[in-house]
Structure 1
Amino acid sequence: MKILHTSDWHVGKVLKGQSRAEEHKAVLAGVIEIARAEQPDLVIVAGDLYDTAAPTPEATRLVTRALTALRRTGADVVAIGGNHDNGPALDALRPWAEAAGITLRGSVRENPDEHVIDGTTAGGERWRLAALPFLSQRYAVRAVEMYELTAAETNQTYADHLGRVLGRLTEGFTESGRVHLVTAHLTVTGAAAGGGERDAHTVLGYAVPATVFPGTAHYVALGHLHRAQRVDGPCPVRYSGSPLAVDFGEQENVPSVTVVEVTADTAARIREVPVTAAATLRTVRGTLAQLAEVEQPDAWLRVFVREQPRAGLREEVQELLPRALEIRIDPELVPAPGSGTAVAQRSGRSPRELFADYLDSRGHADDGVRELFDEIFEEVDR
């Protein structure tokens, strides 16, 4: 059977105030075109369909249309909730999804059998998929208890609980003649972050070892980390990565989807298919003169300016580089904390004096900024 694995769409993403809506339309159209060309039997969307738990109607419309279009290619479609998604809200769409022939699992349900999905390809190959949406730490113990596993000890870790849940979902992965699959939205120890993930859900307390996946699985389709990568484990484990770079920390990533060909008796053959529809993200640095020479391709820019801070500098850079979304003084020019004069005592000193001390500590010598502060302070102090 053939599988198309994608994740971390983050529809509704706004980058430094810039909407990515048109890029997302183009990116998802590209994913759909890949599905039409590859003709997979199964499409897995491994979480973070949205960038926020309260998506706009436009974002909801785009995601539901994309899932519908993927289903119309003839593939079975399974999508799970990620840490950015509102799991119960996704579950509320399940009647629509079922009517459209799409399997949607937004959050962990009380009946574990709901997370074990069986199917048969048009060619008669049988498959079983254990689908685990993102599970937060505070619900991990409850999920273990719901599945009537051994009572959770208070000192057990998130990884212990997740391993128990996955063990329950994959306990039927011993039957021969069937392709066994897992999809989950989580962090695996040792995998590389893409650069734009939500830090609170990628720290060590949320990381699990790859040994939580059974050696009897033919392929594990993961979401959450935005860099496409293979993870060492007892079976083929992979992140598809995001099909577009969602933040400047991801500018080195290659947006793609993963195509997997596997049978019950042969190892998975895995390849990446690039998705190139979104604008690239690029970081440039230099003086104003150097920035004036920067070529301006169809990319969103992060600019590190190698000039001393002064009033109007941002506007000058913006005029040179209209696609600059983030403009900052180059960190190499900013004094490190504690490297300058000692922090002034605040007691008995005016706001003007304190602000002047701050500018001095940051190497900001523009008198125009001080004068502007004085004008604003006088205005609000009346």
Structure 2
Amino acid sequence: MKILHTADWHVGKVLKGRQRVEEHKAVLGELVETARHEDVDMVLVAGDLFDTSAPTPEAQSLVMQTLLALREQGERDVVVLAGNHDNAHLFDVYRPVLGELGIHVVGTFRRPDKGGTLAIRARSGEDVRLAVLPFLSQRYVVRAAEALGGTAAEHNRMYAARFAQLTAALTQGFADGTVNLVTSHGTMPGGAFGGGEREAHSIFSYYFEPTAFPTSTQYAALGHLHRRQQIPGPCPIWYSGSPIAVDFGEENNTPGALLVDVGPNRPAKVSEVAVARAVPLKTVRGTLERLSALPDDGAWLRVFVEERPRAGLAELVRGMLPNALDVQLDERFRPVSATRAKGASPGAARSPRELFRDYLSATGKADGAVTSLFDRLYDEETS
């Protein structure tokens, strides 16, 4: 059978104040086209469909339309689990409605017989056993009473041990004649971070070990780390990565998904699928002259300006580079904090005009137009 493994859509993400709804529509549309072109039998969406736990109606609408399109009117199975950015209880609200449409949704941990382990007959004819572990907080896995005692390292080990226990319970039904799959959302040791993962949920307190997955697993589909990668372990363990770079820390990632070819009693064969419609993110730096000569390749830009600070500099850059979302001074040109002369009392023998000019000079922001404006405003207020 063929599986499309994707995760970390982060629909609703705002980048430096810029809405990205149209980008997400294009990217998710490309995933739907990939599922059709490759004629996959199943789609696994391993968490973080939304960027926040309170998604806007527009974000929810786009995700629902995408899931229905992936379902293709019953042509393929679609399985969705909640990530750390998602609202797990909201997913449980979706669950009965989407379940009627054949879309399997798991928001919170469920017992094997209550939806934690899915028994599916694939369109291609194989019997599938799929263990689904949504993001599990440490508070959930390590009970509060137990967390009151012990060290942080002990709590970390306890989280990993409890995760392994839960996985073992969900994978008990794995057999030789079935396609045995696990999907989850979280952090594994040795995984390379993409840049946009939520730091508080990427620390050792939330790590689980590859050994949590039994050797009978043909494929483990993970979400949370935004860089597509394989993790060494007792079975094929992969992060699909995000189909869209969520911040400038991910500009070197290749957005995409994974195609998985798997059958009973054999490890999965995995191939990478790039997503071409994601708008790239790029960091550029230089003087105004150099920046003005840059070609417009459509990328969102983070700009480091190699100029002394002055009023209106950021506006000048954005005028030259309309896609500049973040404009900063290169660290070599950043002003130092103004310091008071040793032994001088605050404002001693200096007028407000002099104080203002001294401040601009000390911080590297001296500008004749700004001082003239200050003088005019000061005169208006004191006359």
TM over 0.5: yes
Q: CA–CA distance in 2 between the matches of 1:102 and 1:79?
A: 8
Q: 1:121 to 1:309 in 2, by over 3 A?
A: same
Residue 125 of structure 2 corresponds to 124
- Aligned partner of 1:205 in structure 2 is 205
Q: Distance in 1 between matches of 2:2 and 2:162?
A: 31
> What SS does structure 2 have at the residue aligned with 1:215?
coil
Structure 1 residues 140, 297: closer, same or farther in 2, change over 3 A?
same
The aligned counterpart of 2:79 is 78
Which 10-residue stretch deviates more, 217-226 or 346-355? 346-355
Matched, 1:282 2:279: no
Partner of 1:217: 217
Give yes or no for contact 2:228–2:239 (8 Å, CA) kept in 1: yes
CA distance in 2 between partners of 1:380 and 1:134 (Å): 58
* Residue in structure 1 matched with residue 230 of structure 2 by the alignment: 230
Please give the secondary structure, in 2, of the residue aligned with 1:276: coil
Task: Give the corresponding residue for 1:193.
Answer: 193
* Corresponding position of 1:115: 116
Alignment coverage as a number of residue pairs:
373
Q: Which moved more, 1:326-335 or 1:130-139?
A: 326-335
Residue in 2 aligned with 1:272? 272
What is the correspondence of 1:327-342 to structure 2 with a 5 Å cutoff? 327-334=327-334
Structure 2: where are the runs of 5+ without partners?
A: none
Indicate if the aligned counterparts of 2:52 and 2:86 stay in contact, CA closer than 8 A: yes
Which residue of structure 2 aligns with residue 36 of structure 1?
36
- The superposition leaves residues 138-185 of structure 1 with CA deviations (integer Å, 9 ceiling, x where unpaired) of 11124999xxxxx99854422222222222222333x21111111111
Q: Deviation of residue 202 (structure 1)? A: 1.1
1:99/1:311 CA distance change after superposition, 3 Å: same
Q: Which residue of 1 aligns with 2:6?
A: 6
Q: Deviations over 1:59-81 (max 9, x none)?
A: 11110110011011611000000
Whole-angstrom CA distance in 2 between matches of 1:179 and 1:7: 21
CA displacement, residues 235-273 of structure 1 (integer Å, 9 cap, x when unaligned): 101010111111111111111110000111222110011
Contact in 2 for aligned 1:220/1:235 (Cα 8 Å) = yes
2:23 is matched with 23
Cα RMSD, aligned residues only = 3.1
**1:106 matches 2:107:** yes
Residue 283 of structure 1 aligns to a residue in which SS?
A: strand
Name the residue aligned to 2:256.
Answer: 256
Aligned-residue offset at 1:21: 0.2
Q: Secondary structure at the match of 1:28?
A: helix
Q: Secondary structure at the match of 2:214?
A: coil
- Whether 1:136 and 2:137 are equivalent positions in the alignment is yes
In 2 relative to 1, CA 260–310 (structure 1 residues): closer, same or farther, beyond 3 Å?
same
Shift of 1:126: 0.9
Q: Relative to structure 1, is the Cα distance of residues 82 and 373 closer, same or farther in structure 2, using a 3 angstrom cutoff? A: farther
Q: Report % sequence identity.
A: 50
Distance 1:377 1:202 in 2: 51
Separation in 2, partners of 1:346, 1:44: 68
If you compute each CA radius of gyration, which structure gives the higher value, 1 or 2? 2
Code of the residue aligned with 2:95 in structure 1: it is R
Corresponding letter in the other structure for 1:98:
G
Say whether 1:96 aligns with 2:97: yes
**Structure 2 Cα separation of the partners of residues 217 and 372 of structure 1:** 70
Aligned match of 2:315: 315
Say if 1:81 and 1:379 are closer, same or farther in 2 by CA, change over 3 A.
farther
**Which residue is 2:180 aligned to?**
180
SS at match of 1:188: coil
SS in 2 for 1:187: coil
1:257/1:355 Cα in 2 relative to 1: closer, same or farther (>3 Å)?
farther
CA distance in 1, matches of 2:204, 2:233: 18
CA contact (8 A) 1:344 1:354 kept: no
Query: Normalising by the residue count of structure 2, what TM-score does the alignment of the two structures yield?
Result: 0.88
Return closer, same or farther for 1:131/1:328 CA change in 2, 3 Å cut-off. same
**Structure 2 contact 111–170 (Cα < 8 Å) conserved:** no
- Equivalent AA in structure 2 for residue 264 of structure 1: P
TM-fit CA distance, 1:360:
5.9
**Letter paired with 1:8:** D
Q: Deviations over 1:301-337 (max 9, x none)?
A: 11110001110001110110011110000124336x8
Contact kept? 1:82, 1:185, Cα under 8 Å: yes
* Per-residue deviation, 1:342: 6.3
Q: Distance in 1 between matches of 2:54 and 2:311?
A: 37
Looking at structure 1, the residues matched to 192 and 380 of structure 2 have their Cα atoms a distance apart, in angstroms, of 50
Letter of the 1:140 counterpart? V
Displacement after TM superposition at 1:31 (Å): 0.2
Structure 1: 5+ residue stretches without partners = 146-150
Q: CA deviation at 1:208?
A: 2.3
How far the C-alpha of 1:203 sits from its partner, in A, is 1.9
* AA matched with 2:78: V
Distance 1:209 1:354 in 2: 60
What's the counterpart of residue 49 of structure 1? 49
Structure 2 SS opposite 1:93: helix
1:103 is displaced (CA, Å) by 0.2
Q: Letter of the 2:89 partner, please give it.
A: P
Aligned to 1:148: none
